[in-house]
Amino acid sequence: MTKSRINKTWLHGHINDPYVKQAQKDGYRARAAYKLKEIDELEKLIRPEQVIVDLGCAPGSWSQYARQKLAGKEGGGILGTIIGLDMLPMEPVADVHFIQGDFREDEVLQQLEALLAGRKADLVLSDMAPNLSGIADADSARIEHLIELAIEFTQAHMKPSGALLVKCFHGLGYDDIMRRFREAFKTVSVRKPKASRDKSAETFLLGRGLK
């Protein structure tokens, strides 16, 4: 099958995807919002008064969903704090603090710490994914690296009782990622929401309670 044929097939599937249509109807920027929604409804992750950090937040659908869950403050606004970080730009989301940059850099961490104002996060979300090359070894190393960064971030900036939800891919390196999660967290769950495409190796890991 030619590349243009594959692109047309993907586009046709994307346009007719019920979650894409629902996202347009509900005002979400991406269908990924429903992955978080399904996991949240099962795990009760997002609650009023929380401090939530959304790593790799662009284009912003996870932050949009979290914002809806924290809405309800009299006169507008939210009950809690949401901070999104990404190296890519993001259109503003109401009541979400956005920092553009690499969270490994001091300047970005200083902005984050100013917004946290001495607090620790209750929940860290990471829908980060590398640009995949199709070379299994290289891709698995990139995925592992991003998840390791998310774990290290969590250990530095999250409450001991908090939770980390990350996107992962089943395949090479998955066992190493699971081992690292079990080393870092008291309980680890694997979730494959219905909004994840059937053909996708995508899955989500949830770690609760830092060791």
**Residue 78 CB neighbours (<10 A):** 21
Residue 163, φ and ψ in degrees, nearest 5: -140, 150
Residue 120 is a catalytic residue: no
> Which of 35, 37, 69, 167 is flagged as catalytic?
167
Look at residues 58, 202, 194, 211 and name the one whose alpha carbon lies nearest to residue 125. Answer: 58
Q: Which residues are catalytic?
A: 167
